[in-house]
Amino acid sequence: MDPVPGFKISGPWLAEPETQRALAVLNRDAEEARIVGGAVRNAVLQRPIADVDIATTALPREAMRRLRNAGFKVIPTGIKHGTILAVAAGGGLEITTLREDLVTDGRHAVVAFGRSWLKDASRRDFTMNALYCDADGTVYDPVGGLTDCLENRVRFIGDPDKRLAEDTLRLLRFFRFFAAYGAGEPDPAGLAACIRARHGMTRISAERIAQETRKLLLAGGAVAACRAFAASGLAQPVFASAPNTAVFSNLLALSADSATPYRFETALAAFLGHGPDDADKLSDRLKLSNAERKFLGAICRIGYGAWHGDLPEEAELRHVVVDYGKQAAEQALMLAAARSRSRGADRLAGLLQFLRTFDPPDFPLRGQDLIDQGLSAGPEFGALLKRAEALWRREDYAMSRSELLLHIRRWAAEDRQKR
């Protein structure tokens, strides 16, 4: 594999001593090692780099031996597929032996270790993810990824149908990478292959679909990518839901205009939700965590239910903050405004500002307060507390502890007289 003439990359991530040490011990005695994938791609595009992955000709056991001798702690995270993790003070490096696929079924692959950089590159998904570099920043481009990267073109390596047959989740990754790195229109050949592969998504786990969906909806170019996804008719086979690109587009525009970040759950509700009951359907389809399910349920009940027609008044918004918390109220506001932008945008800024300055009050009574009044624990005990809290809420949270206790004493006396 020849280097790209006259093209090098650099940066603190590459000069990191532990990265250089790992490359040095793996790149000697008839073995080779290079950084591969996202770090090289992002360095070419001058974007932030989170993780550094290394590909090596050394077999996993030999790579582990060399790295341990060099002072790394080594964890065999996926040794069956040739992947190990080298850990030192500066963090972790994922290191994988060169591979080629022997058998694939759309979800899993049986691999063989090899020494061909071209075969290793050819089993990857997109050309921009098959760039390599040496310790000195020399770049290697076996499948034409450098030009695609620089021209913001997300393109499958080789035959798109074969890449999707190897792992059908690449359908969502195609749109996710287009959202993060693409420009213009999606690659026609890749798009057509995704449409042909759509029914294979039924074999992909909900957790893997959720992971890619989260990254897609939060990517910088999510609007264009989701429009292409929806126009291709892929939402129904992938999510069992009809897309709403107008609401999703409105949400992202309102988020940018108001400098209010949107959450994944809010984006999911905007793109694939249509009513308060959709929260459970989407949570089940994607097997969301309990926290995500709860938050999605709250904003759908509010944004699609309570505020179905318009944005709320401040008094109503205060109730939502007390019941669900500030962030749920904020995100529900964004969702409701996105659904009725022509009516809601002008009021959204004022309501968001109100949220930022409103400190939700705490109910001033506790059970001990009633015991101090001489009341005994029992069914009426809890009923009195609930009655007091309802009154406190109706009075816009303005009643003090002493005022509420006066009402409780009166209610308790009335109850005793009735008995």
Name the burial class of residue 417, with classes exposed (0-12), middle (13-18) and buried (19+) by CB atoms within 10 angstroms of its CB.
exposed
* 343 and 392 part of one domain: no
Give me the torsion for CA of 377, 362, 317, 278, rounded to 10°.
-60
In whole angstroms, give the CA distance from residue 246 to residue 226.
10
Q: Residue 212 region, left (φ>0) first, then alpha (ψ -120 to 50), else beta?
A: alpha
> Is the pTM higher than 0.85?
yes
pLDDT at residue 253 greater than cutoff 80: yes
Q: Which CATH number belongs to the domain containing residue 134 in this structure?
A: 3.30.460.10
* Same domain, residue pair 184 and 247: no
Instruction: State the CB neighbour count (10 A cutoff) for residue 54.
Output: 23
Cα-Cα-Cα-Cα torsion 317, 319, 321, 323, nearest 10 degrees, comes to: -150
Residue 238's pLDDT band (cuts 50, 70, 90): very high
Q: What is the mean pLDDT of residues 188-198?
A: 97
Whether residues 12 and 139 fall in one domain: yes
In this structure, the strands spanning 53-56 and 91-97 are parallel
**128 and 106 both lie in a single domain:** yes
Q: What is the pLDDT of residue 344?
A: 57
Distance CA 314, CA 351 (A): 7
Asked if residue 380 has pLDDT above 80, the reply is no
User: Do 245 and 234 have their domain in common?
Assistant: no
Phi, psi (5° rounding) for residue 359?
A: -100, 110
What's the whole-number mean pLDDT along residues 232-237? 93
| Number of independent structural domains in the chain | 4
Q: 187 pLDDT band (50/70/90 cuts)?
A: very high
Full residue range of the structural domain in which residue 381 is found = 367-418
pLDDT of residue 361 exceeding 90, the answer is no
Q: Are 14 and 139 spatial neighbours (Cβ–Cβ below 8 Å)?
A: no
User: Percentage of the chain surpassing pLDDT 90?
Assistant: 69
Domain termination residue (choose one: 221, 239, 257): 239
CA pair distance 406, 171, nearest whole angstrom: 64
**CATH code at position 190:** 1.10.3090.10
Q: How far apart are CA 406 and CA 245, in angstroms?
A: 54
Residues 105 and 251 in one domain: no
Task: Give residue-wise pLDDT tens across range 82-132.
Answer: 999 999 876 899 999 999 876 665 566 677 899 999 999 999 999 999 999
Question: Can you tell me whether residue 398 is helix, strand or coil?
Answer: coil
My answer on whether 3 and 128 are in the same domain is yes
Question: 18 by DSSP, 3-state: which?
Answer: helix
Of the three residues 102, 117, 151, the one that is the final residue of a domain is 151
In this prediction, residues 141-146 reach a mean pLDDT of 96
225/283 same-domain check: no
Cα(137)–Cα(141) distance, rounded to whole angstroms? 13
Same domain, 66 and 35: yes
Residues 29 and 170 in one domain: no
271 and 328 assigned to the same domain: yes
Question: What pLDDT score was predicted for residue 259?
Answer: 92
289, 374: one domain: no
Domain boundary among 360, 383, 401: 360
Helices (H) and strands (E) in the chain, counts: 22, 10
Beta strand ranges found along 105-173 (DSSP E): 109-113, 132-133, 138-140
> What share of the chain in percent tops pLDDT 70?
95
Query: With 70 as the cut, is the pLDDT of residue 377 above it?
Result: no
Token couple for 98: 């060169």
Give the containing element (helix H, strand E) for 42: helix 38-44
